């Protein structure tokens, strides 16, 4: 195998894949005097064979020694120093510095020495070019601790209302006591449907010469509930309207010469309501309600054909009790 081909094969195995042509990263300047023609020619031949663009500039002045390779746009510069050594300067533009190597030249040197020295120089060039560049690493800012947004609790939808109630009407009958059971469904935070049932516990009495009558009133009301504030507010003013049947049971105890009688009168109740609830605990509220309404037709209490009282036009109901929020 010819010696020149062997030298090329060795250098190619040291460098591996050559640089991509066409940029400053494949330019190498080689400088030497007339007495160094053998080794300079050998260096230029080997570098050209490996794909480098070889520059042949003038030797730099002493005060321009540090920057002359960079000014040429070369990635490295190789020059012969006083016929005794090769000086290899590799420019690192990222780190703004240069790296210098020296390879001694045997004295006196032959053409074979020139090839060996050239290969050593190229090996040093290869090692320096393949070192990772000192690229400044910008650390990303530490991630901000993510604070999970508080989950807003769902608005309550179902309520149970338990309370005593007092009902009264100005038609000649006294107040009566009732037990109230209410259910409410709130598909919307401010709008819902409600149903209430008032069962009689202590009725009222009508009296006349003909005797007495015990009167018990029951109502069932269904209608609209309107809340004026968000469900999370502690104080909950609201209002509503309702309609439903009313039942008056009258049981008479007649005086002598009159007969006892029992009757049940049915009417329709129309009611408007104002209320206020106060949260005592997350699922328990104290509730105050006031109803005003009218019965149509108006129930009459008659003794022997004579009207002694009426009830329900108008009537009022006061309620103070507990409301339970269902989960």
pLDDT attached to residue 137 = 53
Is 312 found in the same domain as 170?
A: yes
Shared domain for 93 and 164, answered yes or no, is no
The pLDDT of residue 112: 80
121 and 172 co-located in one domain: no
At which of 114, 130, 146 does a domain end?
130
Would 140 be classed as within a structural domain?
no
Domain stop point among 113, 130, 147: 130
Cis peptide before 314 (omega within 30 of 0): yes
Q: Which residue has the tokens 């006196």?
A: 108
CB 79 within 8 A of CB 32: yes
**Same domain (yes/no): 200, 291:** yes
173-232 pLDDT per residue, tens: 999 999 999 999 999 999 999 999 999 999 999 988 888 999 999 999 999 999 999 988
User: Is position 191 within any domain?
Assistant: yes
Residue 153's pLDDT band (cuts 50, 70, 90): low
Do residues 163 and 229 both lie within one domain?
yes
CATH number at residue 211: 2.40.160.20
| 167 & 288 share domain | yes
pLDDT in tens, 34-85: 777 888 888 888 888 877 888 877 766 554 555 666 667 777 888 887 777 7
* Global pTM value: 0.54
- Same domain membership, residue 321 and residue 179: yes
For 11, 164, 254, 267, the CA distances from 94, given in Å and listed in that order, are 27, 87, 117, 97
pLDDT digits (tens, 9 = 90+) for 258-300: 777 888 999 999 999 999 999 999 899 999 999 999 999 999 9
Indicate whether 213 belongs to any domain: yes
Please enumerate in sequence order all residues whose Cβ is within 8 A of that of 207, keeping only pairs 6 or more positions apart, or say none.
Answer: 308
The total domain count for the chain is 2
Closest C-alpha among 189, 293, 200 to residue 249: 200
> Could you tell me which residues are beta bridge partners of residue 200?
178
Q: What is the structure's pLDDT at 17? A: 40
Residue 185 confidence (pLDDT): 96
* Residue 320 belongs to domain spanning: 158-299+308-325
CA distance 251 to 159: 36
Residue 1, pLDDT above cutoff 80: no
pLDDT-based confidence at 164, cuts 50/70/90?
A: very high
168-184 pLDDT, tens digit each: 999 889 999 999 999 99
């Amino acid at each position: 195998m010819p010696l020149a081909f062997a030298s090329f094969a060795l250098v190619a195995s040291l460098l591996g894949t050559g640089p991509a042509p066409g940029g400053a990263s494949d330019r190498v300047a080689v400088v030497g005097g007339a007495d160094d023609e053998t080794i300079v020619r050998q260096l230029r031949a080997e570098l050209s064979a490996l794909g480098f663009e070889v520059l042949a500039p003038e030797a730099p002045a002493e005060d321009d020694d540090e920057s002359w390779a960079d000014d040429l746009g070369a990635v490295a510069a190789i020059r012969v120093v006083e016929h005794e050594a090769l000086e290899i300067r590799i420019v690192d533009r990222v780190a703004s510095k240069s790296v210098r190597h020296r390879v001694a030249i045997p004295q006196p040197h032959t053409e074979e020495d020139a090839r060996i020295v050239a290969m050593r120089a190229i090996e040093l060039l290869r090692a320096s070019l393949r070192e990772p560049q000192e690229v400044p690493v910008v650390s990303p800012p530490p991630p901000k601790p993510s604070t999970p947004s508080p989950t807003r609790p769902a608005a309550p939808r179902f309520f149970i209302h338990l309370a005593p109630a007092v009902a009264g009407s100005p038609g000649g009958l006294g107040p009566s006591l009732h037990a109230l059971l209410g259910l409410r469904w709130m598909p919307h935070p401010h709008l819902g449907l409600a149903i209430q049932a008032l069962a009689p516990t202590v009725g009222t009495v009508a009296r006349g010469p003909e005797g007495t009558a015990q009167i018990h009133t029951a109502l069932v009301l269904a209608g609209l509930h309107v809340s004026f504030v968000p469900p999370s507010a502690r104080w909950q003013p609201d209002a509503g309207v309702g309609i439903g049947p009313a039942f008056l049971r009258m049981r008479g105890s007649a005086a002598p010469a009159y007969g006892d009688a029992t009757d049940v009168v049915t009417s329709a109740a129309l009611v408007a309501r104002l209320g206020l609830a106060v949260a005592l605990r997350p699922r328990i509220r104290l509730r105050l309600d006031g109803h005003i309404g009218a019965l149509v037709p108006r129930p009459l209490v008659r003794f022997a054909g004579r009207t002694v009282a009426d009830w329900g036009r108008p009537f009022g109901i006061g309620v103070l009790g507990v409301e339970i929020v269902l989960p």
